Structure 1
Amino acid sequence: MIGTTLHNTNLRTGRSFDLGKMNLRQLWIAYLTYPTILLYIVLAVISLVVLARQFPGIGPALVAAGAVVAVYPLAWYMIHRFILHGRFLYRMKWTATLWKRIHFDHHQDPHLLDVLFGSPLNTIPTIAIITLPIGYLIGNVGGAAAAMGTGLVITCIYEFFHCIQHLNYKPRMRWIQKMKQRHVLHHFHDEDGNYGITSFVVDRVFGTYYVDARARPRSAHVFNLGYDLEEAGRYPWVMEQTGAPPRDRPDGATPQRNAA
C-alpha cells in the first residue's frame, strides 16, 4: 500500500512523497495526481484549443513544435547550470527564498517530490518566455500556442524522468539506466556536470559530461551547491528560511544502490 511508504499522506501538496521509499507504481499514482502536473496538462489542453482556433497551418505548427523540442535541452542546460547552480541568487536577500525553493532544497534532499517539481509560479513563466516568442515568430498566435503546448508536454516528460532518476527503482531499459546513472552522479558525486535530464548532448558540447565517479574528484558542495556554513554566515537568508544550517548530506537519503 502507498500509505506504508509515505509520511502523512497529502495529495494536495505532495509533501509526503519520498521517492527513495517508493516503487514505480506508486510513482505513477503520485505523479498523475500531483497538482503541478495536472496544471501543466490543463494548460497544454488550453494551448491545443487556442491552436485549433488560430491554426496557422500544419507546416508552421509542426515547425514551432519542432523548434521548441530542439531548443529545450539547451535552455534547460543554461538555466540549470548558470541560474539554479549560480550563487548570485542566495547572496541577495530578495532572491534568496526563490533560490532555496527552485534548487537548493532539491539538492539538500533529492528524494522529496515536493521540491523536485518546480513551483508553477516560477516554471510556467519560464516556459512561456522560452516558447512563446519562438512560436509567434513562426506562426503568430497559433504558432505560439503550438510552442507553449509543446513546452508544457516536454516539461511533463522531463519531470517524470526526473522522478525516475530519484526513485528507488532500477529501470529495465538500458538508456534509462544510463540517464539515471548520470543524474545520480550530479546529485551524489559532483554537481558541476551532467546538467541534463533526458539528454546530455549539451553537456558533451560544453565539456560538463562525465560517466562515472572515477572521472573527477567528489565535490564538497554536491549537497549544498556552495552554500556552506561559511557562506551562510555571510548570507544568512536561506538558512533563516530553512531554520537550520545547510547540510553537507541530505537528511535521511538512502544510497542509490540500483543506479549503477
Structure 2
Amino acid sequence: MTTKNVEELAKRQVARDEARITGDRRTSQSMRQVFVEFWKHPSPYILSTYLLAAVVGRVLAGPGEWWELLLPVGLIAIMPVVEWVIHVFILHWKPRRIAGIKIDPLLSRKHRAHHRDPRAIPLVFIPWQVELTLGPLGLLVAWAVTPTWTAAFSLLVANLVLLSAYEWTHYLLHSDYRPKSRWYRSVWRNHRLHHYKSEHYWFTVTTAATADRLFGTYPDPATVPTSPTARNLHGLDS
C-alpha cells in the first residue's frame, strides 16, 4: 500500500470514528473566528500577562551575552521530546496509591475529561490553576539553571512563547478551523488519530510526529485498531 493510500485510508477511518463519537457534523470556521474564540478563555490572558512581565524583566535586566540567543534554539530543539514525555507520563498518568496516598494530579484529571469530550473547547487548555503557577515556577527554574538574570529572563521569555504556541496550536486542532498548510494538515491528522483512533500513539501536538517517530509511537494508522478507551483513558469510567 502506498503512502498516499495509507493517508487516505487513515483520513476516512478517523472521519468515521469522529462522526460516530461526536454525533454531529463539524462546521468550518475562519481563522478570525477561531482567534476571537481563543480570547474568550483564561489561558491566553494568563500567559500573555506573564510573557509581558518577563519581557519587561528582560529589558530591565540590561544587556546580555550573545549565547543567550541559543536558549530559544535549544528549547525549540527539545520541545517535541518534552511534549511527548509530559503527554505520556503526566497527562496520561493512571491514578494510583503510593504509600496509601492517591496520586492523581489535576493535569491528569483534566486531560481525562478532555479525552472524554474532545469537542469541549474549555477542556483543551492547560487548567488555569496550573497556569497561574507557571510564571513564578518558570522564573525560579530559569534562575536556577542560568548564570545571570539576563539569561534567566531570556529563557523565561522563550519558554512562555513556546508554551503560548502550544496552547494556540492545541486549541486550533480542536476548533472547527480546517487545515490548509501541509504542516498543519499533518499535525491535525496525527492529533485526530490520537483522540479518535488510539490514545496509545501520536502524542506530539505542535510538531509533525518528530518525537513519536523517535519513541516508536507513530505506527501505520491502517494497522492500528480503534481503541475502546480512546475517550475513556485507562477504562476508569467503566
Q: TM-score range by the shorter chain?
A: 0.7 to 0.9
Mapping for residues 86-105 of structure 1, pairs under 5 Å: 86-88=93-95, 95-96=103-104, 98-99=106-107, 101-105=109-113
Greater Cα shift, 58-67 or 214-223: 58-67
**Counterpart contact for 1:63–1:138, Cα < 8 Å:** no
- Relative distance call for 1:117 and 1:61 in structure 2 (3 A) is same
Cα offset, 1:95, TM superposition:
4.5
CA distance in 2, matches of 1:211, 1:32: 36
Greater Cα shift, 136-145 or 90-99: 90-99
Residue matched to 2:212: 203
Answering whether residue 137 of structure 2 is matched by residue 120 of structure 1, we say: no
What SS is found at the alignment partner of 1:226? Answer: helix
Residue matched to 1:12: none
- Relative distance call for 1:84 and 1:102 in structure 2 (3 A) is same
Cα offset, 1:166, TM superposition:
1.5
Cα offset, 1:217, TM superposition:
1.4
* Aligned partner of 1:108 among 112, 116, 119: 116
Query: How high is the sequence identity, in percent, across the aligned residues?
Result: 24
Mapping for residues 37-186 of structure 1, pairs under 5 Å: 37-55=44-62, 57-88=64-95, 95-96=103-104, 98-99=106-107, 101-123=109-131, 125=133, 133=141, 136-186=144-194
CA distance in 2, matches of 1:83, 1:53: 35
**Counterpart contact for 2:191–2:202, Cα < 8 Å:** yes
Q: Which amino acid aligns with 1:23?
A: Q
- Relative distance call for 1:63 and 1:133 in structure 2 (3 A) is farther
CA distance in 2, matches of 1:195, 1:57: 36
Cα-to-partner distance string for 1:198-246 (whole Å, 9 max, x where unaligned): 112111110011353x13111121101113345xxxxxxxxxxxxxxxx
Cα offset, 1:73, TM superposition:
2.0
Greater Cα shift, 188-197 or 149-158: 149-158
Highest RCO, 1 vs 2 (Cα 8 Å, sep ≥ 6): 2
Q: How many residues align?
A: 212
Q: Which amino acid aligns with 2:152?
A: A
Q: Which amino acid aligns with 1:87?
A: K
**Counterpart contact for 2:46–2:132, Cα < 8 Å:** no
Greater Cα shift, 40-49 or 202-211: 202-211
Gaps of 5+ in 2: 1-25
Residue matched to 2:4: none
